[in-house]
Structure formats: C-alpha cells, structure tokens
C-alpha cells in the first residue's frame, strides 16, 4: 500500500515536472515568436445600401495586431509594443462602422483613385478634358465625393510565410467620379512577423487614367488616446519639397527644405518649428520630394516617440510623401474609447506621387495606360528602444 502511494507520488511529481516543462516551452516559443501568424474574420455591420462589411484581424507571431475592414479597405486599429512590450493602439479610428459612415477625415483609409488634390477638379489626357467633383473647394481631394475610402472592397486571404495577410480588391467603373477607364485596384495588407505593416498596391486600367493610391492612417506612437504628436521626433529623407498655394496646389517649383521649418533631414521634434507655419489652419501639410525619387523601395521617414520608445520607419517606392499633422482635427470627432481628436492628435505620412501631378509635366507622371500595371509598396516598420 505504502509502496503504491510512493510510486504514485513519484509519477505525479514526474508528470507535474513534465507539464511545467511543456508550459515553459510554450512560453518560450511564444517569446521567440514561434506561434503561427493568423487572420480572424468578423462581421462589422452594413452600409446604408445594405452591403455587409467585414473586419479582419491580422495577428503576427509576436502578438502584434492590425485590423482592416472591407469598407474603404480602412486600417481601423494597429496594436504595437512599446519598449516594455506593452501593446498600444497607434492609429486613430472609431469603435464601429457607424463612426466611419458618419464622415471622417480619411482615418486609416485606402485613398484613390487619385490621392491628394487635383487643381479645380480638371485635367486633360490624350486631348480630352475631364471634370471631377470639387469636394475641397476649389479643388478635388482624395478621389472625389465617393472615393475608394467610401466603397466596399472584396477581401480574400493571402498565403505568405512572412506573416498574416489579406488582399482587398475594388473595381472602379469607367466614368466613376469622372475618371476615365475601368480600373481594378488591389491592396495587400501584410502584418509581417518582424512587426512591419506592409502595403502592396496594384492597379490595371482599360483607358489611360491618373492613379495615385495611398494610405491615410493618422499615427500617434504614444497611443491614439494620448493627445498631440508634437513631441514625436521625425527624420525625413527629403532634401526638397513642392511649394504650394493657399489651396494646397503646388506652384510647380521644387525647392530645398534647408533653412525652413520643413527641414527634417536630421531628427527634429515635430513641434519644434510648427508655429512658424502660418496660414489656415497652420501646421504641416506638405508634399516632400523623397531623395530616393521613387526609383526603389527606400527609407523615407523615421519617427520616434520618446515616452514609449516606439519607433516607426516608413519605406516606400513612391517619389513623394505628404506629411500632415492633423491640422483640421478640431475636436468634432470622437474616436475609439470616447477620445476626442484635437488638432495635431495624429500625423500622416502619405506615400504618393506629387499633388496635382496630372497638371504638371515636370512632376513624375501618375498616368497609367492600358497594358501597364501600377505598383506601389509602402512599409511601416515598428520597433521600440
Ligand atoms: C490630406 C490633405 C489635408 C487634409 C487631409 C484630410 O492629408 O493634404 O489637407 O485635407 O488629407 O483632412
């Protein structure tokens, strides 16, 4: 009897030890990021027309998450570790679809067919003049009245060893918002296991058309709930910018940033010289000409937030980036968790061709022709120190 009890006791201790070893092994695996990346799908409501909207959560092996919905192929949430490994949402957005449907300044949106402005909503292509809606007087902004940010995209899973990924497709009809040609646009969101959110865009058309796709996420690396971004430190690999008139349309010149508040060649606090940018509403809202000139996937910007230690590096194949400091945020938007978004509550780094390129022969062309494929890659890579 006693011998059996001793035997059972020993087996118990051995089994316990084995279990502990297994859970320690699990925890280690988790720490080392050996778990599989995954994608979760959920219903996210309906548009006023009754179209179902889906929300996809991409989870990488270190537990970072990105949420994207089919309405506007919008990035609604991005949870990133700080220097202590604490996760925090670093993009502005709403709790539910209703928030987005009520109208908002392109939070997290995939913007197209042409991101940024087209002067007076007009351009001429192959001898024909096209007229677009003037939705940002006196210009067209971000695709018009119902741009790619306000349509429902088709989602499909993508298999990749790099992390978790989803592909979103939208077919924009010939004449939609005044643009020529049936255009099929795709964007693949990949949340890599190296904590990077990678956006791969393509587009194809059956008539020549301008195309300029971008993502309009408002970042706050201290956390979307933590006030303004003026203490973030920014480096931009751009020696030049495109000066613009007071309706944000480029004059056509390309000027050095040196000795201006736009000089971010070396790391600088965003708030350091922001007050010197006069005009209405003030702040940064400028197209920077990247030194890489859009010739290759290159580092465009580095942003560091001192309190949390979060760092975001942005790489892109585009020739320009619109650096925008949320100047029009005026406390009218209440975001996720009841946070009121105020002026400079987030910053955008919108990879792009220069604004109004379709009307400036000296800017890199944004015209896509039949038979060609438009490609754009932008990566937002996160770390913490
Ligand atoms: C862009 C523009 C800004 C503003 C925002 C949306 O970034 O450059 O001027 O219109 O979109 O509010």
Low-confidence winner among 2-6, 14-18, 36-40 (lowest mean pLDDT): 14-18
The verdict on whether 350 is a catalytic residue reads yes
Question: CB–CB of 375/202 below 8 Å?
Answer: yes
For the cut 70, the answer to whether the pLDDT of residue 60 exceeds it is yes
Judged against a pLDDT cut of 80, whether residue 31 lies above it is answered with: no
> How far is the centre of ligand 1, averaged over its atoms, from the C-alpha of 116 (Å)?
7
240: which residues sit within 8 A by CB, 6+ positions away?
254, 255, 256, 257, 288, 289
384, 257, 274: which is closest to 326 by C-alpha?
A: 274
Q: Ligand 1 center to residue 105 CA distance, Å?
A: 7
Question: How high is the pLDDT of residue 35?
Answer: 76
The whole-number pLDDT of residue 279 equals 85
Catalytic residue (choose from 54, 77, 350, 353): 350
Using alpha carbons, list the distances in angstroms from residue 68 to 93, 105, 215, 320: 11, 17, 12, 25
pLDDT surpasses 90 at 301: yes
Pocket test for ligand 1, best of 324, 326, 345 (most atoms within 8 A of CB): 324
Using the atom order of ligand 1, give the atom closest to the CA of residue 328.
Answer: 12
- pLDDT tens profile 171-217: 999 999 999 999 999 999 999 999 999 999 999 999 999 999 999 99
Atom nearest to 285 CA in ligand 1 = 8
For ligand 1, atom 7: residue with the closest CA: 324
Q: Whose CA is nearest to atom 9 of ligand 1?
A: 285
Whether the per-residue pLDDT at 25 is higher than 70: the answer is no
Q: Which atom of ligand 1 is nearest to the CA of 355?
A: 8
Residues with CB under 6 Å of ligand 1 are: 105-106, 141, 248, 285, 322, 324, 328, 348, 350
**How far, in Å, from the CA of 324 to the mean position of ligand 1?**
7
Mean pLDDT of 147-175: 98
pLDDT of 20: 43
At residue 278, the pLDDT reads 86
Give the CA distances from residue 13 to residues 1, 23, 25, 276, in Å, rounded to whole numbers and listed in that order: 18, 15, 18, 70
The answer to whether the CB of 367 falls within 8 A of the CB of 118 is: no
**What average pLDDT does the segment 36-55 reach?**
98
Residue with CA nearest ligand 1 atom 6 = 105
Q: What is the pTM of this model?
A: 0.92
Residues 58 and 68 sit within 8 Å (Cβ to Cβ): yes
Q: Is the pLDDT higher at 35 or at 227? A: 227
What pLDDT sits at residue 193? 98
Q: How far is the CA of 245 from the centre of ligand 1 (A)?
A: 14
**Interacting residues of 37 by C-beta distance below 8 A, sequence separation 6+:** 58, 59, 60, 61, 163, 164, 191, 193
Query: Does residue 6 carry a pLDDT above 50?
Result: no
| Residue-averaged pLDDT of the chain | 93
Instruction: Exactly one of 216, 232, 286, 353 is catalytic; name it.
Output: 216
Percent of the chain with pLDDT over 70: 91
pLDDT of 312 strictly over 80: yes
Instruction: Quote the pLDDT of residue 3.
Output: 52
Do 142 and 132 meet the contact criterion of CB atoms below 8 Å apart?
no
Asked which of 32-46, 121-135, 148-162, 253-267 is least confident by mean pLDDT, the reply is 32-46
Q: Is the pLDDT of residue 105 over 70?
A: yes
């Amino acid at each position: 009897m006693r011998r059996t009890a001793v035997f059972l006791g020993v087996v118990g201790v051995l089994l316990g030890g084995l279990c502990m070893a297994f859970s320690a092994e699990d925890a280690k695996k988790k720490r080392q990021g050996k778990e599989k990346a995954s994608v979760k799908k959920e219903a996210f409501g309906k548009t006023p027309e009754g179209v179902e909207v889906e929300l996809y959560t991409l989870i990488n092996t270190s537990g970072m998450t990105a949420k994207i919905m089919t309405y506007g192929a919008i990035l609604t949430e991005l949870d990133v570790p700080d220097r202590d490994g604490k996760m925090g949402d670093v993009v502005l957005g709403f709790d539910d679809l209703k928030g987005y449907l009520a109208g908002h300044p392109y939070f997290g949106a995939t913007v197209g067919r042409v991101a940024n402005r087209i002067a007076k909503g007009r351009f001429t292509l192959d001898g024909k003049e096209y007229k677009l809606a003037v939705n940002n007087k006196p210009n067209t902004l971000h695709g018009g009245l119902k741009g790619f940010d306000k349509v429902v995209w088709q989602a499909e899973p993508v298999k990749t060893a790099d992390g978790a990924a989803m592909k979103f497709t939208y077919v924009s009809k010939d004449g939609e918002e005044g643009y020529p040609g049936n255009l099929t646009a795709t964007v693949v969101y990949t949340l890599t296991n190296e904590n990077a959110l990678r956006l791969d865009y393509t587009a194809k058309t059956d008539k020549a058309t301008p195309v300029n796709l971008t993502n309009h996420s408002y970042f706050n690396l201290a956390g979307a709930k933590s006030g303004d971004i003026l203490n973030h430190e920014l480096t931009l690999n751009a020696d030049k910018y495109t000066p613009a008139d007071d309706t944000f349309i480029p004059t056509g010149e390309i000027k050095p940033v040196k000795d201006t508040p736009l000089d971010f060649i070396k790391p600088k606090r965003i708030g350091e010289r922001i007050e010197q940018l006069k005009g209405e509403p003030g702040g940064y809202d400028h197209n920077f000409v990247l030194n890489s000139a859009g010739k290759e996937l290159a580092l465009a910007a580095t942003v560091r937030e001192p309190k949390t230690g979060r760092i975001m590096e942005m790489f892109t194949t585009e020739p320009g980036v619109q650096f925008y400091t949320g100047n029009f945020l005026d406390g009218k938007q209440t975001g996720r968790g009841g946070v009121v978004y105020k002026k400079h509550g987030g910053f955008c780094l919108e990879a792009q061709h220069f604004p109004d390129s379709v009307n400036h022969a000296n800017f890199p062309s944004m015209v896509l022709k039949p038979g060609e494929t438009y490609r754009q890659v932008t990566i937002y890579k996160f770390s913490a120190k």
